[in-house]
Structure formats: structure tokens, C-alpha cells
Structure 1
Amino acid sequence: MRTLESNTSGSVSEFILLGFPCRRDIQIFLFVLFSIIYFLILMGNASIICAVWSSRKLHTPMYILLANFSFLEICYVSSDVPKMLANIISQTKSISYAGCLLQFYFFFSMCAAEGLFLSVMSFDRFLAVCRPLHYPIIMTRRLCVLLVVFCWAGGFLWLLTPFILISQVPFCGPNTVDHFLCDLAPLLALSCAPVSGIRLVCGIVSSLIIFLTLLYILGTYFCVLTVVLQMSSGSGRQKAFSTCASHLAVVSLFYGSVMVMYVSPGSGEYPGIQKFVTLFYALATPFFNPLIYNFRNKDMEEALKKILSVLLKEIFKGSKSHI
């Protein structure tokens, strides 16, 4: 393990991400496993973006929001997994001070943006089920664009205060972070000054975005459930449930893991549990998102089949011309 490096002011200039300390053969297995999962996440979410972009039938607010959500998932998982993979097979496992702070900022900003996107998508489903006649008037293309901008900007602005506060924390050594990414708790544990105030502010900011978005989603789906149960038509009720089921599944995956990590008392005190839960919400939602939406949505299936048929035709033509 590399010894502590310091800059001219005597502060830490790099961190060591401990990651998953285990035998070399297990590290190689983890590298292959996480590489496959990362590749599948990229391909799955990219397929949703391509399907929405290529099919005019999917040029609606619901699918535009879904395509942006899938793009967010690609950015979200790319903010930590490539570095994690590099550190698994690396002997040094180092990350620069600036790189560590930027990884923290981008990863958790996109985590906050994910909560905002899930809230906006629940608002879209609320309008579609509870206000079907007013839906085209309210959910215009302009409003859809504004909501997308709000989600992206809101996530990055929300984490600006914690980012600025952490950048002011002095790190004199040691510099070993017992995690595979630059998370808040293990970083603050390395501070050589009291950080109780910073920890409190960051905790409040994190809790607010989690609880506000979750309560909003639960509120909208309570209204949706009330309207659905009052429907006299069985087919209408089934259609409404199927429309919301995919989104609710993704919400359950994301908030379930985040609540275990940041709300359960004492969960952050055990590095093993902390790594496992962080790994789960960093990979699970991006991995299952395309599976949930592609297999439960007929319009998405049709668009993907068209894309595949076009690709196969082009490949067949190319191979035929070479012959």
C-alpha cells in the first residue's frame, strides 16, 4: 500500500480507496462480475434511449422522462464503477484529493437527481390516471422540458452545500478510505478537526431530499390508488395498475436501499454493510431499470424489436456484400 503523500501545505493530496480487500483470485472474479454488470447497465439503458429516440410513438412526456432517467443512470453508474474496477485490479488503489471530492459530488448529485426524476415521473403518472382529460393540456412539451431541467439542475444544486463544506475539511492523515468510493462518513472519519457541525448539515441535506421526494411519490400514488379503486371498468383498472407498476418497482428498489443506508440507525457504523448497501443502490436500480421497463411495456418492446430488426438487416447486408 502506498504511503501517505502530502502537498506543500502538509495536507493529504490523495486517498487510498480500500475497496474489497480479499485474495487475488476473488478480486479477479469481482472485477469480471462488476464489469459484466456495468456493460449490461450501459447496454440496457442505452436501449431505452435509442427506442424512445427512434419511435415517434414514444415521443410523449412519459417516455421522454424515462429516456432522461436512463441517461442519468448511465452517468450515475459511470461516476464510480470505472474507478472501482480500476482499483480492484490495481496495487495502489489511489485517487487524488480533487478526484475524490468530485466523485463524491457527481455521484451523490446524480443520486439526488434520481430522486427528483422519480418524483416527476410519479407526477406524470398522477396526471395520466387522475386527470386524463387535462393531461395533454397540463403536461405539454414545454413543461416536460422544464421538469427535466429542474431534475438535472436540482440534483447538482442540492449537493453544492455539502460539497463546499467537505472541501473545507482538513485532512492531515491517515488517508485510507474504508470504502470503494468517496462516501461522506468514511471521508469525515479521516478529518483532523471536529466535523460534527458539517456532519449534521450534510445529514439534514441528505435526509431532506430523501424524505421530501419519497413523501411526494407516496402522496401521488395514494391519489392514484384512490382513483383506480373507484374505477368501474376492470380493464381500465388493470391498465392503470400496469402503467404505474414499473415505476413503483424502480422506486421500491432505489428508496429501499437508500433508506437502509442512510436512515437505519447504526448502518453506517459497519463498513461491510455500508459497502454492500452502497453497491446495491449504485448498481441495482441502473441494472433493473431497463429490465423492468422493457419487459413490462409493449410499446417499448415493439420499438426495441424494430431497432433489432434494422440492425440485423444492416449486418446481413454488410456480410452479403463482403461475400
Structure 2
Amino acid sequence: MDMKNMTRISSIHIFGFQTRESISCLVFFLFLMVYSLTVCGNFLIIMLVSSCRILHSPMYFFLTQLSVSDIILVTSIVPNIFQGALLKEFTLSLSDCITQFYFFATAGTAECFLLTVMSYDRYLAICKPLHYNLIMSHFFCWMTVLACWTLSILALLLLILKIIRLEFCGPDILDHFFCDLHPILELSCTDISSITVHVMFTSTFFVVIPFIIIITSYVCIIVAIFRIPSITGRQKAFSTCSSHLTVVFIYYGTLICVYLVPSGGQSLNVSKFLSLMYTVVTPLMNPIIYSLRNKELKKAFEQLTSSLSTENKLMR
């Protein structure tokens, strides 16, 4: 293939969701509502954990970091959906497209790490309760979170440095609602074998291995729960990790379907729907799942609302 006769593309036409014009405004307001609820819900969790002393524990500290990653994830994706809903087709520069992928992928990778750390936290709390306070110190929690974000940022930065060296010759059309890795690489007219190997290695280290650790942790947790003699004790122990387990199944279930199931086995619309699940729906579901199943969060919310109402009365 003669590279000299090819034109390097500088912008990409993104098709997004091809909906009827009659419902485009409805789709726009639906996603606007989802985005607003997602950001507000995750910010509420961060505020509750920061302001309420009863939530100053490792589990809730990690939950705030999960909320941060959810906010970054959905904020990097949803603006494209807004444009796609109203314009049907819009244009992004190649650099903007790659930048979007970087922020989305960094937040997604950090979420994989954070879910793994949270499973380890639950493992220690249930299987090694005598060692929990000793291991889960304030310093350890901060260093763990710092490691999660640093590894995610650096790993994706290395991948981006390889992507920007590629020649992109078109077609300049991306039939997706955001700039994901595989659609971007399909626009390249140069050899991507080194990037493919890099992606396989990083996916194994950052997605597969954490998932195996999570599953192993929960096998140990379930075994430990069944050893508890009283039914009440079992229910109490399981309730402390049921929310996290639900989030893991939703997030990893869609990730596996999108990235590990062969693309030939699913249509483009199915691929878009599954991508929508973990980029938009999961960040919305996380605060809902944790707030509905967690009595301490509900109690903290009641305390916060009562204190705010008291302050308003005093101001009047």
C-alpha cells in the first residue's frame, strides 16, 4: 500500500445513534437526565463520605474514588451522545478523539483496580477481621488509591503515545457514539500489530487479573459466610459486600461482552448497546445500588438533610 498516495485524516465523522428525528429531542433529554443524575448521585456520595464521620472507613473511602472515576467516565462520553442525538452526525478532530479515548480508558482502568481493592477490603473484613484495622490503615488506603490512578494514567499514556505515531488514512467515518480503541485503530492504514500486543498485555494485567482476584476473593468470602453458624450473621456479612458484587457483575459483564467476545458474534447495534451499558448506565447505577442497600449511607444522608434544614431555619 503506497503511503505517499494516501491523505492523512485530521478529523473524524461520528455517526452515533441513528434515531428518528421525531424522537431525537426525547433521546437528548433522556441522556441529559441520566447524566445529571449520575453526576449528582456520585457527587452526593463523595460529599456524604467527606462530611459524615460514620462513613470515615476504608470501604467508603474507596467508594468515593469509584465515584470520581464514574464522573470522569461519563463526562468523557455523554457530550458526544448529546451531539449525536441532535445532529445525527458530528465531527471531531483526530486529536480530540484520541484525547477522549484516553480519559475514558483511564477512568475505566482505574475502576477495574478500585473494584479489585474494594473486594480485597471486603475479604479482609469478613475473612480476616482481626487483621483488618492493622492492614487497612489510613496510609495503606491512600497509597493503594494513588497506585490505582498512577498505573492507569501511565499505562494509557504509553498506549496513546503508540497510537499518535500511526498514520490515519481513512475512511474518516466512525460508526460509534464515542472514540473507542477498536474503531480508532480501524481508521489506521499502518501496521498495528505492536499496539495489538500492547493492548493484549495491558488488558490481561488491568482487566483479566483483577477480575480473577475479585472472583477468588468472593469465593473465600462465600466460604467464610457459610461457616457463620447463625442465619442473621450470614445475612449481615453478605449485606456488607452485596452492593459491590452487584456492581462488579454489571461492569465486568458488559466489558467481557464488548472486548472479549469476538466482534463477529454481535451486530454493531448490539456492540453500541453494550458499550452504552458500561459507559453510561453503570456510572448511574453505582450510587443507586450502594445507596439503596446501605443503611449507613441512608443514615448519613438523613443527618446531612436534617443539618441543612436546621441551618436554613436558623438563617431565617
Does the alignment reach a TM-score above 0.5?
Answer: yes
Task: Please point out which of 206, 209, 213 is paired with 1:212.
Answer: 209
Distance 1:249 1:98, change over 3 A: same
Task: Please point out which of 176, 179, 189 is paired with 1:182.
Answer: 179
CA RMSD of aligned residues (A): 1.9
Q: Does the CA-based 8 Å contact 1:14-1:95 persist in structure 2?
A: yes
Please say which of residues 165-174 and 48-57 is displaced more in the overlay: 165-174
Q: Does the CA-based 8 Å contact 2:9-2:94 persist in structure 1?
A: yes
Instruction: Tell me by how many angstroms 1:197 deviates.
Output: 4.0
Mapping of 1:34-49 within 5 angstroms?
Answer: 34-49=31-46
Instruction: Give distance in 2, aligned partners of 1:258 and 1:91.
Output: 26
Mapping of 1:159-174 within 5 angstroms?
Answer: 159-174=156-171
TM-score by length of 2: 0.92
Instruction: Give distance in 1, aligned partners of 2:203 and 2:25.
Output: 34
Instruction: Give distance in 1, aligned partners of 2:172 and 2:312.
Output: 51
Please say which of residues 86-95 and 160-169 is displaced more in the overlay: 86-95
**3-state secondary structure, aligned to 2:229:** coil
Q: Does the CA-based 8 Å contact 1:104-1:183 persist in structure 2?
A: yes
Aligned: 1:75 with 2:69: no
Distance 1:67 1:103, change over 3 A: same
Distance 1:307 1:86, change over 3 A: farther
Q: Does the CA-based 8 Å contact 1:69-1:117 persist in structure 2?
A: yes
Distance 1:268 1:145, change over 3 A: farther
List runs of 5+ in structure 2 lacking aligned partners.
1-5
Please say which of residues 200-209 and 294-303 is displaced more in the overlay: 200-209
Instruction: Give distance in 1, aligned partners of 2:265 and 2:78.
Output: 21
1:3 alignment partner in structure 2: none
Q: Deviations along 1:251-296, whole A, 9 cap, x unmatched?
A: 0110011011111123586321221111111112211111111111
Distance 1:17 1:312, change over 3 A: farther
Task: Please point out which of 299, 303, 307 is paired with 1:302.
Answer: 299
Which residue type is aligned with residue 199 of structure 1? T
Q: Does the CA-based 8 Å contact 1:185-1:268 persist in structure 2?
A: no
Task: Please point out which of 244, 256, 277 is paired with 1:247.
Answer: 244
**3-state secondary structure, aligned to 1:134:** helix
Instruction: Tell me by how many angstroms 1:236 deviates.
Output: 2.0
Aligned: 1:156 with 2:147: no
Instruction: Tell me by how many angstroms 1:62 deviates.
Output: 0.9
**3-state secondary structure, aligned to 2:130:** coil
Instruction: Tell me by how many angstroms 1:249 deviates.
Output: 0.4
Q: Deviations along 1:35-88, whole A, 9 cap, x unmatched?
A: 100011011111111110111111111111111111211111111112321343
Which residue type is aligned with residue 182 of structure 1? C
Q: Does the CA-based 8 Å contact 1:15-1:176 persist in structure 2?
A: yes
2:3 alignment partner in structure 1: none
Instruction: Tell me by how many angstroms 1:317 deviates.
Output: 5.8
Mapping of 1:312-323 within 5 angstroms?
Answer: 312-315=309-312, 321=316
Q: Does the CA-based 8 Å contact 1:87-1:94 persist in structure 2?
A: no
Q: Alignment identity in percent? A: 38
Which residue type is aligned with residue 239 of structure 1? K
Distance 1:221 1:20, change over 3 A: same
Instruction: Give distance in 1, aligned partners of 2:65 and 2:190.
Output: 41
Q: Deviations along 1:205-249, whole A, 9 cap, x unmatched?
A: 224422111000001111111111111233222111000101100
Instruction: Give distance in 1, aligned partners of 2:267 and 2:235.
Output: 43
Instruction: Give distance in 2, aligned partners of 1:203 and 1:28.
Output: 40
Instruction: Give distance in 1, aligned partners of 2:265 and 2:187.
Output: 15
Q: Does the CA-based 8 Å contact 1:253-1:284 persist in structure 2?
A: no
Instruction: Give distance in 1, aligned partners of 2:232 and 2:19.
Output: 54
Matched residue count: 311
1:89 alignment partner in structure 2: 86
Which residue type is aligned with residue 259 of structure 1? I
Which residue type is aligned with residue 216 of structure 1? I
List runs of 5+ in structure 1 lacking aligned partners.
1-8
1:18 alignment partner in structure 2: 15
TM-score by length of 1: 0.90
